[in-house]
Structure 1
Amino acid sequence: MSAPYGPPLLVSNPSAGNDRGAVLRAASAELHRLGLDHDVAETTGAGDATRIAREAVAAGRRFVVAVGGDGTIHEVVNGLVDPETGQPHAEDTVLGILPGGSGGDLARTFGFDRRPERAVRHLLGDTTNAFDVGRVRLTGRDGQPRTVLFANIAEAGYGGTVTALAARLPRRFGQSRYAVATIAAVARFRLVETTIALDSSERTEAISNVIVANGQFFGGGMNVAPRALPWDGRFNVQAWTGTPMDVIRAGSALRKGTHTSRSDVREWNSATVRVDGPPLIVEADGEVLGTTPAVFDLLPGVLRIKL
């Protein structure tokens, strides 16, 4: 049996989270049981998923499934769509997601079951939905201009600093890397006078963090952007004017999605965002990308996501 969009290619990072390929094995076994033709490609290093996805669509594949966390989805999306032109490498490309890894936050926005034996069932049938993809132009870590796509959420400021610190900690620490980095980053970050320009307004004030959200969740289930919809052509944008300690104290509200009523949180919807001022570390989908100044825009409905 073949899927309506052709046999899916499952692109998996066997090092995502702590499952060491368990999600891929369970998903593939269930697909075999269901009789669905599919292929598997495992990554061996950073950037592999991007290359695999790009080569797959160039060879005629139209259904590519990211198996893993948000980092794997991030790489696959950058392989399916050209960051500079904003156009998919092939028309009618369908993105599938099988959650794995330690985060899996974009999957939460779509309500995908995290159990691979059940999650694979959304690969069946022909139901898809338009999927917006975020794009950011910024200064790369090498000091050169860089353009990168992101599927879920980007941050500039304290959140970027936390992600950069966590990336330096041993991966065996798992999700606890972020808990350690969240505290360690407090001593390294101060409020920064920053200009945030949106579609129809601009403001400059001291902030600790800017969030540019396509999806709703980050940080392993925090409902940071409850009003974000990754198919409405707009980002949910937040500026935090409190200190990093205020951000930490808001942890419970962040998990519930009630933090947007706080007096130190500004919130807007906008298709474009420019963040300028002293350099802030930018991360997206859990990957450190570079520093501000940064310009974010949306590529509305550039992909279809399999539901």
Structure 2
Amino acid sequence: MDEKIPTDMPLKADTEQSPRYVFIINPIAGNKNKKRIENTVLRAFAPGEALVVYSESQGHAQKIASEFVQKAVPFCIAVGGDGTVNEVASALVNTETVLGIIPAGSGNGLSNCLHIPHVVKQAIEVIQNNYIRTIDAGKLNDQYFFCTCGIGFDALVGHDFARGNKRGLPGYVRSALKQFIHYRAKKYRLKTDGQKQKVRAFLITIANAGQYGSNFYISPGAKIDDGLLDICIVKPFPKAAVLPLGIKFLGKRIDRSPYLEVIRGKKVTLQGRKNKQYIHYDGEPIVVRGKIKIQILPGALKVVAPESVKPRITIRRKGIVRSHLSESKTA
């Protein structure tokens, strides 16, 4: 559901004035000049209307956002990459406070899916327009995610990538090539909306949005407001298929590959053969023991986004798409 928040919401008296917009900046995300972003933000709003706060450590952005949710601030804006966006958004789930984003990281997955401009002034204009969309949130055990989470090769790459000093797509590709040399597909037990199966997979990604970040798409047909998760199973493939698969990932055509199977559902349970498992959510690597429980939370987050974006129509040709909520079909 989309809505327009009125722009004339009154502020409190000067002695107790509360800002309408709180910008939470991660000072170490990406390579944009954060002081310049702060100055651009403060010039774009009336005095007292916007407040800029800097996060100081991992988890701090979520704590800051939670405090302002308690104060009923209408908008909390994440200024950073996917990790910063995840922290701020996690504090806003099932609240009336609206998420805004100024992309300033290396991946910028959610902002890309929402078509938010990367130019700071243009992103601010989107926020000032106050056009609100309601989107879904995913939940991995007790952790929220908004783009993707998963297990297998991409999770292992995510852990290696986090230890490196090269950010962005080049750093991710470097980690992927390093891990690919010795990596082998793994066996998993998967349950989707009660339907059990055993799979051997190179990776399994649970997608709320279509991409990991950097426009690297795992499920081009995924929608962030349909109340469904796309369970993307990349099957074992010959080494000769690596380059064609990489091109399909970057070209939003991975859903045309015979090595990808997509199942749609609302609740997922996933377990590998080992108790200790490498997982990723919105680019953040973690280690989980035992079963992984994932579910979709429909309409759990309000976000400010461009108003004029038209729905994307995706034509599938070769990939297999199944849903446990409706009739199976081959695309």
* TM-score > 0.5, shorter chain as reference: yes
Match of 2:204 among 204, 210, 227: 210
Q: Does 1:76 align with 2:88?
A: yes
Equivalent positions of 1:268-279 (< 5 A) are 268-279=263-274
The share of aligned pairs that are identical, in percent, is: 23
Cα deviation for residue 169 of structure 1 reads 1.0
Instruction: Give the aligned residue type for 1:165.
Output: D
State the secondary structure of the residue aligned to 2:129.
Answer: coil
Cα deviation for residue 208 of structure 1 reads 1.1
Cα deviation for residue 72 of structure 1 reads 0.7
Give the number of aligned pairs: 287
Aligned-partner Cα distance in 2 for 1:296–1:163: 19
Q: Does 1:257 align with 2:269?
A: no
Alignment partner, residue 20 of structure 2: 7
Contact 1:26/1:116 (<8 A) preserved: no
Contact 1:282/1:290 (<8 A) preserved: yes
Q: Does 1:284 align with 2:278?
A: no
Quote the RMSD (CA, aligned, Å): 2.3
Q: Which runs of 5+ in 1 are unaligned?
A: 82-87, 138-146
Instruction: Give the aligned residue type for 2:297.
Output: L
Alignment partner, residue 122 of structure 2: 118
State the secondary structure of the residue aligned to 1:250.
Answer: helix
Cα deviation for residue 187 of structure 1 reads 3.5
Cα deviation for residue 221 of structure 1 reads 1.0
Instruction: Give the aligned residue type for 2:280.
Output: E
Q: Does 1:41 align with 2:56?
A: no
Q: Do the aligned partners of residues 266 and 174 (structure 1) sit closer, same or farther apart at CA in structure 2, a change above 3 Å counting?
A: closer
Q: Do the aligned partners of residues 240 and 4 (structure 1) sit closer, same or farther apart at CA in structure 2, a change above 3 Å counting?
A: farther
Q: Do the aligned partners of residues 76 and 38 (structure 1) sit closer, same or farther apart at CA in structure 2, a change above 3 Å counting?
A: same
Report which stretch shifted further, 128-137 or 287-296: 287-296
Q: Does 1:179 align with 2:191?
A: no
Q: Do the aligned partners of residues 50 and 184 (structure 1) sit closer, same or farther apart at CA in structure 2, a change above 3 Å counting?
A: same
Q: Do the aligned partners of residues 218 and 51 (structure 1) sit closer, same or farther apart at CA in structure 2, a change above 3 Å counting?
A: same
Alignment partner, residue 85 of structure 1: none
Which is greater in Rg?
2
Alignment partner, residue 167 of structure 1: 162
Alignment partner, residue 305 of structure 1: 303
Q: Which runs of 5+ in 2 are unaligned?
A: 1-5, 10-18, 306-331
Alignment partner, residue 137 of structure 2: 133
Q: Does 1:223 align with 2:235?
A: no
Alignment partner, residue 153 of structure 1: 148
Q: Do the aligned partners of residues 63 and 209 (structure 1) sit closer, same or farther apart at CA in structure 2, a change above 3 Å counting?
A: same
Contact 1:154/1:284 (<8 A) preserved: yes
Q: Does 1:109 align with 2:104?
A: no
TM-score where L is the length of structure 2: 0.80
